[in-house]
């Protein structure tokens, strides 16, 4: 082949690549303008620093500072009504003096002493959300600790995250409470992404009468696309919760993954068990390969939505989220790995 032909192909490749980048960059905004400033409510810190020799006054202070959150915490974590103040006080004292959780609580205070960086990340993302979806009432954010009881509490007013679930992949106490495949995302670096992701899933519900694998893939793919727009400084593998090897495996085998899904006629399946194997967190995506990462259905859906948005540059983000004809989305995506 002549050099001019090679140059032409190279330029065409660059044009396609730049077109893809420009498509997403059109959504970029100045987050300093009309900024949504997020302040995280530190129930975790206030609980862990209580004076155990004067619990009555300390717990009374928690009731005063967290009138809305504390009842939700006691109901979901302590399985106790907030009105039973004596029982709550006793359970808090047991937790704070428990020899098993003392080192965990100490590590939590060290790891999350200052959360201004997380507040900035979430503030940036929330500013994006408010810009594109101004009608949405954004939730308050709380941090708490639960003795590895529950990682998240959601309701109409707030999102609460258990900081004791984000103390590092190599944190020794996790070996007894978490599967190996879960450890990679149990890091402080994952907190902001998990908060924004939870916010998006709270904003949008899947609307599908057929509930096929395709519908699940593209709905979650839409969420991942928004996440990548609203957190543009984060690597895609980090947004997905994949390490570099898992992301590389997925990209390297993308063509084969798609061919398998089509050949096995899985795409339009409504088998709930099959769908869960593609979509749910797991050590690998069972229908594909034991070498694969989990949640390849979400990953594949994200790639299709990326292709759809690049192929249809006039579609806005609200229009994307309102589109529930997932078969039409697939057809209009021109997805060809």
Per the CB < 8 A criterion, the answer to whether 144 and 44 are in contact is yes
Q: What is the pLDDT of residue 13?
A: 46
Residues 39-83: pLDDT tens digits? 999 999 999 999 999 999 999 999 999 999 999 999 999 999 999
Spatial distance between the Cα atoms of 76 and 69, rounded to a whole number of angstroms: 11
Helices (H), the chain: 3-25, 43-48, 55-65, 69-73, 85-97, 102-111, 116-132, 191-203, 213-230, 236-240, 244-252, 254-263, 272-279, 296-311, 317-322, 326-333
Name beta bridge partners: 141.
159
Residues 84-111: pLDDT tens digits? 999 999 999 999 999 999 999 999 999 9
Q: How confident is the model at residue 209 (pLDDT cuts 50, 70, 90)?
A: confident
Question: Residue written as tokens 């893809």?
Answer: 20
Residues 261-296: pLDDT tens digits? 999 999 999 999 999 999 999 999 999 999 999 999
Q: How confident is the model at residue 25 (pLDDT cuts 50, 70, 90)?
A: confident
Spatial distance between the Cα atoms of 18 and 315, rounded to a whole number of angstroms: 18
Spatial distance between the Cα atoms of 133 and 237, rounded to a whole number of angstroms: 25
Among residues 247, 138, 237, 246, the alpha carbon closest in space to that of 189 is found at 237
The ranges assigned to domains in the chain are: 41-202, 205-333
């Amino acid at each position: 082949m002549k050099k001019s032909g090679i140059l032409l192909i190279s330029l065409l490749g660059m044009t396609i690549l730049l077109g893809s980048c420009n498509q997403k960059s059109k959504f970029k905004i100045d987050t300093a303008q009309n900024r949504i400033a997020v302040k995280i409510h530190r129930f975790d810190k206030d609980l862990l620093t209580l004076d155990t020799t004067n619990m009555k006054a300390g717990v009374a202070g928690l009731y005063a500072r967290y009138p809305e959150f504390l009842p939700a915490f006691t109901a979901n974590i302590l399985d106790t009504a907030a009105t039973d103040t004596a029982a709550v006080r006793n359970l808090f004292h047991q937790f704070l003096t428990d020899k098993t959780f003392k080192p965990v609580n100490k590590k939590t205070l060290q790891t999350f002493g200052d959360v201004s960086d997380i507040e900035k990340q979430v503030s940036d993302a929330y500013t994006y959300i408010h810009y594109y979806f101004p009608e949405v009432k954004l939730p308050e954010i709380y941090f708490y600790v639960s003795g590895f009881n529950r990682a998240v509490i959601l309701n109409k007013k707030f999102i609460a995250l258990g900081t004791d679930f984000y103390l590092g992949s190599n944190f020794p106490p996790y070996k007894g409470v978490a599967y190996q495949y879960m450890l990679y995302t149990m890091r402080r670096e994952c907190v902001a992404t998990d908060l924004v992701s939870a916010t998006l899933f709270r904003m949008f519900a899947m609307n599908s009468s057929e509930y096929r694998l395709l519908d699940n893939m593209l709905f979650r793919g839409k969420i991942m696309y928004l996440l990548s727009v609203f957190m543009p400084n984060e690597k895609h593998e980090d947004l997905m919760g994949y390490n570099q090897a898992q992301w590389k495996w997925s990209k390297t085998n993308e063509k084969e993954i798609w061919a398998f899904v089509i050949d096995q006629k899985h795409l339009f399946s409504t088998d709930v068990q099959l769908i869960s194997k593609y979509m749910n967190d797991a050590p690998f995506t069972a229908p594909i390969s034991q070498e694969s990462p989990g949640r390849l259905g979400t990953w594949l859906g994200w790639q299709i939505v990326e292709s759809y948005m690049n192929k249809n540059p006039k579609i806005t983000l609200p229009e994307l989220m309102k589109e529930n004809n997932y078969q039409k989305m697939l057809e209009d995506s021109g997805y060809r790995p």
